[in-house]
Structure 1
Amino acid sequence: MDQSFLIMLSNLLHLQNQLDPTTSILSDSSTSTTSATPSSLLTSTSAAPLLFFTIASVLSYISTTRKPRSSPSPPPSPSTTSQYSVAAFRALSTERIWAMEAPLRDAQWRSMYGLSYPVFTTVVDKLKPYIAQSNLSLPSDYAVAMVLSRLSLGLSAKTVAKRYSLEPYLVSKITNMVTRLLSTKLYPEFIKIPAGRRRLQETTASFAEITSLPNICGAIDNTHIRLHSLPSNLPNPNIYTNSHGFRSIQLQVVADHKKIFWDVCVKAPGAFDDATHFRDSLLYNRLISGDIVWEKVVNVKGHPVRPYIVGDWCYPLLSFLLTPFSWNRTGNPAQNTFDEGLMKGRKVVEEAIGLLKGRWRILQDMNVGLNHAPQTIVACCVLHNLCQIAREPEPEVWKEPEESGSVARVLESENYYYNFGESLRQVLADDLYQRLSSR
């Protein structure tokens, strides 16, 4: 109760005692109070009690209806988490976004979520039916935006939770859900082997312009994804320490001339070599078994040449995977010319990996649980393809450590494919050298 009101009541009580001494005596003498009956009080001729209670009632009413004084609250700071609330996101995405110039709008969206607003809405539209089935309490577009901000900025679950005023466990749960959907539901649509005639023709023709070699349909490479931490109960954590000295898991990709991945594999810990990872992949098994058959065949010096991929010396030489003759240009002129052309083709996949890690910075320091790391990596590859297909501006390329590793040995079970690949490589080298020498 207000302090000034208490003072008023005290003064009124004092005044009432002076006007009606009987009441004062009653209040001060316990015996008198006990013997007084209600009738004696009601028959008192003094007006003081009535005056006192009337004024007290009026003052009490004023006191309870008067609004307390309060200092004006400062306006919310732009750095507070309110700017990441659902309301703020909705205002930006539905009320303001289309009033902005498209370049400014998309630049702002890329800075927050790694891709332009039209590509963002494409991702949301494709994931919304699956997110709706999860009974998530957050709107689908808000949940996707939150996960994309984490992937593109490389933020931890705790940082995102603080920014969006959510619990860290909920951020992790939503991240796992969205990356799982990207890596499963959207993977078949956006990561596909160039089996169609038109796409295969475009791919091989573009690689021929880059390398002067016929029928290349892709370039393969391996990269290490650094792990922020490992579970303390792993039985053998050393298998995650790679040749560069940090802990990682491996990502194997095959890219086309547009730096779009058409195969992705995440199976090996960091200590494994590239060849072992390749042999454990579904792509290798499909190629060995003949499950993948490209119909496009070109004739080179009487040799039928089917589409093949190119890689560095860390991969085995096979009929469907051609590698350099040497890693330090110690071959004859025809072989060195072939190696130079092949490495130009391989540079495409190196740039694709650099763009992938530059665009989705969580891949520079993977701060999700080990069990969810593979799906997070594949999800980033799907998003990378979406950006490349939409011709999003390419970010600064992430620089990989220098290549290291020994020349891959050939398994006994691969001898047939090795002998065929060795013969094919020499034919292509002689043909390339002859063509270039005659110009």
Structure 2
Amino acid sequence: MDDSLMMMLSNLLHLHTHLDPATSLLSSSSSSSSAGAGATASSSPASPLSSSSAAAPLLFLTLASLLSLSSPKPSSKASSSKPSKKRKSPPLSPSPDYSISAFRALSTEHIWSLEPPLRDARWRSLYGLSYPVFTTVVEKLRPFIAASNLSLPSDYAVAMVLSRLSHGLSAKTLAARYSLDPFLVSKITNMVTRLLSTKLYPEFIKIPVSRRRLIEATQAFEELTSLPNVCGAIDGSPVKIGRVSSNAYRCRYGYDSIQLQVVADHKKIFWDVCVKAPGSIDDAAHFRDSLLYNRLVSGDIVWDKAINVRGQHVRPYIVGDWCYPLMPFLMTPFNTKGIGSPAQNLFDGMLMKGRSVVVEAIGLLKGRWKILQDLNVGLNHAPQTIVACCVLHNLCQIAREPEPELWRDPDEGGYSPRVLENEKSFYYQGQSIRQGLADDLHHRLSAR
């Protein structure tokens, strides 16, 4: 019998004995039989009782009702055709069939009786990804969720959070929909997004340092842009949040936000994610404050695939728009108005074509995980929620999930950043490499 029920029965017995000592023996016998029942049951709070002996029959009836509730009942099979009604307090040690019942209650349809293609389509509409990808997430998070002593099955907890992330629901809305406590929904959301952003991040968001990945990425970008040795594209995007008292979060588009910076490869898979700045910080400052920048400047990241272009030693590099600083490892356009030489204008057009990959990746991210269109979590939990969605985005891209309609951020604005004193040598080296790439590109395409 559940401990809470035993405690309540014990209290009722003591109270009943105090009000009517004549029935103490009967009460003791009833308590003994209830302890042997061995089944759990939920009960509602007892009504206020009078201190007079006239309340004894009422207490006895209440006790009898509770004992009848505690008697074993035949369990329903998991293959029941009707979805089971959601319980507010799931059992601490759920049976293997409990998760199926929970999903039926969440989905409101008989998902498990559908063919795999239809099942996966329905699953995506509920949780943002197919059932096989969902099970991958659950299996990887299960040990950590189990260690948290959460009185909820791992698959149920993950489904609840994915439902919130994919539909952009608030904790209050989700709680009302599934008859849960909003605090519990927030607690589970914070736990699952924290696990995604810390435990799964190193596995699914990796800088391409292996030669195989570099060759695959550079070849794909060269097919797209005709530029050699491009290994990724970088861009920033403001993630809208609730109103904050500090003006530091007000972005150039007029709403409060947190800055997201990502680098994507040719498959629109993120290989670096940074969420460190409020919305008022520009892309260049956010990049300079990132771990990626520090590792590139210090030489910690070594890309072993250098080529020679018109006398320039060109290692793999990423491409970005004019809001980023020009570096040997980060190529930016010559100008924004097309007033350069034919070679420079051609280079700018091809570079921006490569940059479009990361723009589409961000559009997919916000289109698939709609909570990022208007983030409704606490400010302290906002960064981990954003990173968690990036991890889930990569899982979907790796599994080749169908791509949703792209979310469109406002048109890019801003100016070229000033060159910092400690970056001058990088800037001049970047200038030489960029001009060499532009001249080589113009020569190759003109000769065709």
Note the C-alpha offset of 1:89: 2.6
| Aligned residue runs from structure 1 range 333-352, under 5 A | 333-352=342-361
Q: Which of 320, 328, 334 lines up with 1:319 in the alignment?
A: 328
| Aligned residue runs from structure 1 range 381-396, under 5 A | 381-396=390-405
**Pair 1:100-2:100 in alignment:** no
Q: Which of 95, 102, 105 lines up with 1:89 in the alignment?
A: 102
Distance 1:79 1:269 in 2: 44
Q: Does structure 2 retain, via aligned residues, the 8 Å contact 1:81–1:162?
A: no
Q: Which of 209, 217, 221 lines up with 2:235 in the alignment?
A: 221
Matching residue of 2:132: 118
**Pair 1:129-2:143 in alignment:** yes
What secondary structure is seen at the aligned counterpart in 1 of 2:140? helix
Q: What is the percentage of aligned positions where both structures have the same residue?
A: 71
Distance 1:378 1:194 in 2: 19
Distance 2:229 2:369 in 1: 31
What secondary structure is seen at the aligned counterpart in 2 of 1:295? coil
Distance 2:239 2:376 in 1: 11
Matching residue of 1:256: 265
Distance 2:83 2:369 in 1: 24
Distance 2:396 2:384 in 1: 18
Matching residue of 1:287: 296
Distance 1:90 1:222 in 2: 36
Distance 2:412 2:247 in 1: 21
Distance 2:387 2:209 in 1: 21
How many matched pairs? 357
Q: Does structure 1 retain, via aligned residues, the 8 Å contact 2:84–2:102?
A: no
Note the C-alpha offset of 1:103: 1.4
Q: Does structure 2 retain, via aligned residues, the 8 Å contact 1:226–1:365?
A: yes
**Pair 1:193-2:202 in alignment:** no
Q: Does structure 2 retain, via aligned residues, the 8 Å contact 1:81–1:165?
A: no
Letter in 2 for 1:282: L
What secondary structure is seen at the aligned counterpart in 2 of 1:251? strand
Q: Deviations over 1:181-237 (max 9, x none)?
A: 00000000000001111111000000000000000000000000000233xxx5xx1
Which structure 2 residue ranges, 5 or more long, are not aligned? 1-81, 91-98
Distance 2:301 2:231 in 1: 13
Q: Deviations over 1:290-318 (max 9, x none)?
A: 00010101111222210000000000101
Letter in 2 for 1:371: N
Matching residue of 1:266: 275
Matching residue of 1:155: 169
Note the C-alpha offset of 1:285: 0.4
Runs of 4+ deviating beyond 3 Å: 78-88, 90-99
Structure label with greater radius of gyration? 1
What secondary structure is seen at the aligned counterpart in 2 of 1:396? coil
Distance 1:83 1:392 in 2: 32
Q: Does structure 1 retain, via aligned residues, the 8 Å contact 2:166–2:368?
A: yes
Letter in 2 for 1:366: L
Matching residue of 1:178: 192
What secondary structure is seen at the aligned counterpart in 2 of 1:266? strand
Distance 2:400 2:338 in 1: 36
Q: Which of 160, 167, 182 lines up with 1:146 in the alignment?
A: 160
Q: Deviations over 1:121-145 (max 9, x none)?
A: 0000000000000000111000000
TM-score of the superposed pair, with normalisation by structure 1: 0.78
Change (3 A) 1:81 1:415: farther
Distance 2:326 2:255 in 1: 29
Matching residue of 2:409: 400
What secondary structure is seen at the aligned counterpart in 1 of 2:149? coil
* RMSD between aligned residues: 2.1
| Aligned residue runs from structure 1 range 5-24, under 5 A | none
Q: Higher relative CO (CA 8 A, sep ≥ 6), structure 1 or 2?
A: 1
Q: Deviations over 1:70-116 (max 9, x none)?
A: xxxxxxxx999749996633558999655422210101000000000
**Pair 1:366-2:380 in alignment:** no
